């Protein structure tokens, strides 16, 4: 799975146009493809823009959404594209209008997940984006179907159930332990089916969200799509590019997902990516002044994983208090650590959190875990992780064969030993093994004949979407690649001049970076 980060940790996707040989096969100036007649009413709709206050999904977002520089609307789309005259869904959009006279069009953003809110991302990030983009484009964040302020909403658990779910730790590899873990997975799938509906869940995948994007493009009055997608947003952008290659002007993909990988391949490679990030953190930690902030894992990076396990694994049987009536579970501790591994700037906070657990407290790692789960100070959750699970289950073939389940869990445990319980692998099926509807996507090499050149950005130390996936995706899409040396999940439009100048030149002027383009992030 691909984990969603917050704020500056969430990244960008895009397609890059260039005239050099071997890049792309299409022309950004060619006329767009005509929509199917049965969808004409959706493509021709006029959006009713207004204040954004009611679109905020969490109390944390309320202030940002109230800013009068933003306006919001909902676009109507078919719930099931095979039945366009049937039930409909609504996709929420948040817009900051272009401030300059020479407007190019709209620039859509997806921050990842799957399940992350694009309206929230833009409301909280627009002021940090390069000024040129805000001058030349209407900046638009959207909530893919089922997420954020879009409807119908994927909402499987209430706040109390979310809190309770986070305290569950399934560390018993015995048949009884496997049965308990699978019962929990089945319970989650059953609640999603009962509360959301199988007919809705069946149409929540990337295949359908990409079709929604083309309706959004037309509804805002654009002939061609300009798009930036981070992490899972690269999967969504790739699906759009494959379905509507003639409708693309520019697409940037940052933190790539390789569409050719199976569920097992992508899961194991991501686990290895997070272990690499943990190892890099351990090397940094070992160099910190021992008289001021001693590394909680010691000064030998080769022993750091074992030292970490010694501190964290006791939480399986004895969670530690966090100060608000809750306790830090083993699962939440691992989630908090993983959240901090997304960006090297969080490493000092991670050291504090691990040191705190060693002394019998868990506040810092709990705050990090709350951030990952999008739990606000009032104890209210967004639906991000529920949407993550539901969308993932219709995007990937479920692993249900017991031998394959064991292989997946064993390989993942071996690839990321910092996450291990130390008690053996629990070979239990996850929620997707009990999902009520089949997947609507499968691994494949994209067919993008007619697509203008795209731009892919990939970070060498990206834990969630490993670097090589970006290299491979750029080749599959016949696009350009910016190699970024650094330790974080995605890097575009986050203040690094080397990266941002190249991305802006592509989005504004359709100028691809030179072959071998390379940038470096500042160290932690």
In DSSP terms, 74 is beta-bridged to 92
Selecting among 120, 231, 250, 351, the annotated active-site residue is 231
Selecting among 489, 492, 500, 512, the annotated active-site residue is 489
Distance CA 242, CA 479 (A): 13
Q: Residue 419: helix, strand or coil by DSSP?
A: helix
Both structure tokens of 429: 């099926």
How many other CB atoms are there within 10 angstroms of residue 426's CB atom? 20
Distance CA 466, CA 280 (A): 14
Where on the phi/psi map is residue 197: left (φ > 0), alpha (ψ -120 to 50), or beta?
left
Angle at 411 between CA 474 and CA 485, to 5 degrees: 35
Distance CA 399, CA 433 (A): 6
Distance CA 484, CA 341 (A): 17
Both structure tokens of 171: 């560390």
Does the annotation count 420 as an active-site position? Answer: no
Distance CA 385, CA 3 (A): 9
Does the annotation count 172 as an active-site position? Answer: no
Pair type for strands 248-254 and 455-459: parallel
Nearest alpha-carbon partner for 465 in 297, 232, 241: 232
Does the annotation count 231 as an active-site position? Answer: yes
On whether the CB atoms of residues 1 and 387 are closer than 8 A, the answer is no
On whether the CB atoms of residues 1 and 267 are closer than 8 A, the answer is yes
Cis check for the bond before 114: say yes or no (omega within 30 of 0): yes
Selecting among 110, 143, 413, 462, the annotated active-site residue is 462
Question: CA 338 → CA 202, 293, 341, 464, distances in Å?
Answer: 30, 21, 5, 10
**Helix spans in 295-346 (H):** 304-312, 330-340
Sole residue written with tokens 């692993």: 399
Distance CA 253, CA 471 (A): 11
On whether the CB atoms of residues 494 and 461 are closer than 8 A, the answer is no
User: What would the DSSP string read from start to end of 48-71?
Assistant: --B--GGG-SSGGGHHHHT-TTEE
Catalytic residues: 231, 462, 489
């Amino acid at each position: 799975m691909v984990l969603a980060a917050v704020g500056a940790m969430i990244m960008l996707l895009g397609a890059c146009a260039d005239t050099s040989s071997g890049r792309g096969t299409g022309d950004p100036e060619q006329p767009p493809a005509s929509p199917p007649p049965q969808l004409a009413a959706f493509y021709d709709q006029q959006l009713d823009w207004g204040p954004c206050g009611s679109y905020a999904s969490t109390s944390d977002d309320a202030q940002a959404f109230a800013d009068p520089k933003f306006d919001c609307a909902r676009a109507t789309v078919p719930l099931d594209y095979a039945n366009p005259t049937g039930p409909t869904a609504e996709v929420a959009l948040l817009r900051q209008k272009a401030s300059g006279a020479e407007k190019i069009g709209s620039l859509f953003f997806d921050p990842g997940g799957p399940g992350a809110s694009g309206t929230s991302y833009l409301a909280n990030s627009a002021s940090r984006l390069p000024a040129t983009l805000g001058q030349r484009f209407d900046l638009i964040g959207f909530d893919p179907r089922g997420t954020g302020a879009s409807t119908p909403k994927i909402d499987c658990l209430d706040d109390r159930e979310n809190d309770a779910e986070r305290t569950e730790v399934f560390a018993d590899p015995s048949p009884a332990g496997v049965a308990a873990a699978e019962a929990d997975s089945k319970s989650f799938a059953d609640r999603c089916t009962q509360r959301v509906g199988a007919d809705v869940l069946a149409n929540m995948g990337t295949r359908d969200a990409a079709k929604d994007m083309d309706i959004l493009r037309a509804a805002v009055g654009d002939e061609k799509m300009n798009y930036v997608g981070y992490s899972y947003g690269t999967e969504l952008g790739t699906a759009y590019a494959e379905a509507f290659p003639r409708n693309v002007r520019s697409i940037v993909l940052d933190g790539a997902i390789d569409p050719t990988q199976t569920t097992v391949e992508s899961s194991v490679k991501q686990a290895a990516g997070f272990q690499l990030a943990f190892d890099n953190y351990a090397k940094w930690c070992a160099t910190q002044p021992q008289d001021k902030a001693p590394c909680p894992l010691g000064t030998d990076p080769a022993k750091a994983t074992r030292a970490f396990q010694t501190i964290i694994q006791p939480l399986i049987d004895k969670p530690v208090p966090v100060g608000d009536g809750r306790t830090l579970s083993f699962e939440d501790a691992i989630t908090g650590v993983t959240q901090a591994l997304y960006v090297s700037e969080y490493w000092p906070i991670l050291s504090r959190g691990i040191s705190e657990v060693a002394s019998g407290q868990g506040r810092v790692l709990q705050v990090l875990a709350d951030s990952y789960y999008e739990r606000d100070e009032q104890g209210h959750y967004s639906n991000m992780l529920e949407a993550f699970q539901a969308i993932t289950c219709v995007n990937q073939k479920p692993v249900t064969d017991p031998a394959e389940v064991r292989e997946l869990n064993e390989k993942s445990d071996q690839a990321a030993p910092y996450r291990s319980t130390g008690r053996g692998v629990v070979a239990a099926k996850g929620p997707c093994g009990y999902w009520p509807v089949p997947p609507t996507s499968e691994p494949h090499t994209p067919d993008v004949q007619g697509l203008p050149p795209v731009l892919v950005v990939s970070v060498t130390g990206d834990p969630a979407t490993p670097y090589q996936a970006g290299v491979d995706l750029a080749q599959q899409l016949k696009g350009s690649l910016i190699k970024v040396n650094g330790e974080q999940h995605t890097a575009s439009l986050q203040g690094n001049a080397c990266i941002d100048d190249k991305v802006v030149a592509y989005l504004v002027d359709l100028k691809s970076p030179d072959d071998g383009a390379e940038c470096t992030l500042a160290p932690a």
